Chain A
Amino acid sequence: MSTSPTTAAPPAATVRTPRTGMLALFGIAAVAVMLVAPFGVYPVFLMKVMCFALFACAFNLLLGYTGLLSFGHAMFFGGAAYICAHTIKVLGFSPEIGILAGVAFAAFLGLLAGLLAIRRQGIYFAMVTLALAQMFFFFCLQAPFTGGEDGLQGVPRRPLFGLIDISKDINLYYVVLAIFVFGFLVIYRTIHSPFGHVLKAIRENEPRAISLGYRANQYKLLAFVLSAALTGLAGSTKVLVFQLASLTDVAWQMSGEVVLMTLVGGMGTILGPIVGAAIIVTMQNYLAGLGEWVLVIQGVIFVAAVSLFRRGIVGEIIAIVSYYRSGKQQP
């Protein structure tokens, strides 16, 4: 077929996607703020936010960009935490080896769980992941190396790469920031890669993607493994921050919490999970004095999010902005 003159101009396919330049600028500004933030805010709190933000971003890769609702992501978060803690505390390795071990374990567990779960769709997929996570929870409860109810406490903060002293919170803060930025960039690139385009197509219309020759399950499996590995990165990093891996990390509530963070912030948006994680962690920290009532407040927020602003906070902001922008463009 011949290319007619009308097709000579390059298509402005970027109109709908947020301008990369603006996004990069925003990213640099955000990192700059994060660099000075520990001088104003308690660094451990910020590190906790970043761990959960990375967790939620990794989860969102699956829910928002692949359309798979996993209800068992705690097994990757907590599983990686146990392996990381065990590698450092019991086997005596340095922190970077511990993190790598945690990530590798989460990826492997993701491969196994993914192979079983991706054959099912929708609610059945969620149920299979929940069931697997529950099995893993009881395994962790019984297995001797996890420390049972006590967990693995007092994980030492040995120097990173034998050089960086992370026993000081402020030093560790910058390490965690670097890990978070790295994880975020991996997710961002994945979403905006040839692979990410196929994922979105599968999310939008799986039978059609198959009819174009895409073996959809293989793409979903890779997305699942990537999501699990990055969740493992978040879980391992959390071990360095709190020097602790416990049953809380593998419990089903943790799987639920990450769903909450992602939905409140806005699933399928790049920044939504970060905002969601920041809100939920802030609430847990500052309302801790209210005890069990925190859970009630979380429940109310969840109900409000689902019924009032279904796109999540960031999703609603994007919708409003693009509404005004398209309103201006129309003649």
Chain B
Amino acid sequence: MDTVSDVPYIVEATGLTKEFKGFAAVKNVDLRIRRNTIHALIGPNGAGKTTCFNLITKFLEPTRGTIRLNGRDITRTPPADVARLGMVRSFQISATFPHLTVVDNVRIALQRPMGNSFHFWKSESSLDSLNERAMALLADVDLTTYADHLAVELPYGRKRALEIATTLALDPEMLLLDEPTSGMGREDIARTADLIRRVSKNRTILMVEHNLSVVADLSDTITVLARGEILTEGPYAEVSKNPQVIEAYMGTGGAH
């Protein structure tokens, strides 16, 4: 642990609070994520995990608090610009472009840094130079054979894989995964966990995850949220023994 704690924090959120008409979904959360680690955010339903996600990626404006990315204040930065700074998120419900082909899904992500995205007078063949990289990214997640299918036709697990391939196309420094294994069968879960581990090399990952065996397996640090507040934080072995955590998970068939 000592070696990891020397690494500076990539994301620092302090006093993060989000109130919806008097109801505080997230209360005074301090979340610091170390560079090049996998950090999991867990907690019972309604604990505020996804709200936290939306706040950090600026899809929601925090009521109070500040967020720093690589030491830079992004509290008032629009979400698209946060993505440009190297922090890219996924969504709980699989976020593909359903009526684009699988390869086009990935190409959209690759296209942005080209700087021609406003060029309405150029032919789409100017995007052909991206094909090779797009196919390589698809090969990475075993989607080569699906390249010409519409994303909407993919089985659920494959959609999630496509989503990760699209996210990786941006080569983000910081990756936020919202329930990457939700709704998957056992085989897909193992494949996805494996993929997450592979892509975590030289990257920081923050993930919301319900599957505790995946969390135990992958994460360096776990933050437990309950009713919008941080219950505890630490490595899995520590967190899973915390009586408060066990209590929070009672009846939801969780930690033990």
Do A and B share a complex?
A: yes
Binding site for B on A (CB under 8 A): 1-4, 6-7, 10-13, 15-16, 189-190, 192-198, 200-201, 204-205, 207-216, 218-219, 222, 226
List the B side residues contacting A201 at CB < 8 Å. 97, 100, 108
Chain B interface residue count, Cβ-Cβ cutoff 8 angstroms: 53
Is B144 within 8 A of A200, CB to CB?
Answer: no
Bitwise, B96-129 to A at CB < 8 A (1) or not (0) is 1111110110011101101011111111101100
List the B side residues contacting A195 at CB < 8 Å. 116-120, 122
List the B side residues contacting A198 at CB < 8 Å. 108, 111, 117
Measured in the bound complex, the distance between the Cα atoms of B26 and A290 in whole Å is 64
Is B136 within 8 A of A207, CB to CB?
Answer: no
**Other-chain residue from A12, A15, A204 in contact with B98 (beta carbon distance below 8 A):** A204
The verdict on A16 contacting B148 (CB below 8 Å), with A7-B139, A198-B117 known, is: yes
| Closest Cβ–Cβ distance, residue B254 to chain A (whole Å) | 29
B88 within 8 A of A: yes
Q: List 9 A-B contacts (CB under 8 A).
A: A1-B140, A4-B139, A7-B144, A194-B117, A204-B98, A207-B91, A212-B88, A218-B118, A222-B120
Is A215 within 8 A of B148, CB to CB?
Answer: no
The verdict on A208 contacting B148 (CB below 8 Å), with A190-B120, A194-B126, A195-B117 known, is: no
Bitwise, B63-105 to A at CB < 8 A (1) or not (0) is 0000000000000001111011000111100011111110110
List the B side residues contacting A197 at CB < 8 Å. 104, 107-108, 111, 124, 127
Measured in the bound complex, the distance between the Cα atoms of B91 and A213 in whole Å is 15
From 200 to 253 in chain B, residues with beta carbon under 8 angstroms from any chain A beta carbon are none
Nearest B residue to A200, CB-CB: B100
| Closest Cβ–Cβ distance, residue A227 to chain B (whole Å) | 11
Measured in the bound complex, the distance between the Cα atoms of B147 and A312 in whole Å is 29
Nearest B residue to A187, CB-CB: B120
| Closest Cβ–Cβ distance, residue B60 to chain A (whole Å) | 12
Is B84 within 8 A of A7, CB to CB?
Answer: no
Is B91 within 8 A of A208, CB to CB?
Answer: yes
| Closest Cβ–Cβ distance, residue B233 to chain A (whole Å) | 26
The verdict on A194 contacting B88 (CB below 8 Å), with A7-B132, A212-B109, A212-B170 known, is: no
Is B101 within 8 A of A13, CB to CB?
Answer: yes
| Closest Cβ–Cβ distance, residue B30 to chain A (whole Å) | 24
The verdict on A222 contacting B108 (CB below 8 Å), with A16-B148, A212-B88 known, is: no
Is A11 within 8 A of B121, CB to CB?
Answer: no
Is A200 within 8 A of B120, CB to CB?
Answer: no
The verdict on A211 contacting B79 (CB below 8 Å), with A6-B144, A197-B111, A205-B96 known, is: yes
Measured in the bound complex, the distance between the Cα atoms of B108 and A201 in whole Å is 7
Measured in the bound complex, the distance between the Cα atoms of B119 and A216 in whole Å is 15
Is B120 within 8 A of A196, CB to CB?
Answer: yes
| Closest Cβ–Cβ distance, residue A191 to chain B (whole Å) | 9
List the B side residues contacting A219 at CB < 8 Å. 117-118
List the A side residues contacting B147 at CB < 8 Å. 11-13
List the A side residues contacting B140 at CB < 8 Å. 1
**Other-chain residue from B80, B91, B124, B136 in contact with A1 (beta carbon distance below 8 A):** B136
Measured in the bound complex, the distance between the Cα atoms of B79 and A287 in whole Å is 53
Specify which of A2, A3, A200, A210 lies most central, judged by the most chain B CB atoms within 10 Å of its CB.
Answer: A210
Measured in the bound complex, the distance between the Cα atoms of B80 and A209 in whole Å is 8
Is B139 within 8 A of A6, CB to CB?
Answer: yes
Is A193 within 8 A of B96, CB to CB?
Answer: no
List the B side residues contacting A208 at CB < 8 Å. 91, 95-97
Besides A11-B134, A194-B111, A200-B100, 13 other CB < 8 A contacts?
A1-B137, A7-B138, A10-B131, A11-B103, A13-B104, A194-B127, A196-B120, A208-B91, A211-B90, A212-B108, A213-B80, A214-B80, A216-B80
Measured in the bound complex, the distance between the Cα atoms of B124 and A198 in whole Å is 11
Is B124 within 8 A of A194, CB to CB?
Answer: yes
From 149 to 197 in chain B, residues with beta carbon under 8 angstroms from any chain A beta carbon are 150, 166, 170
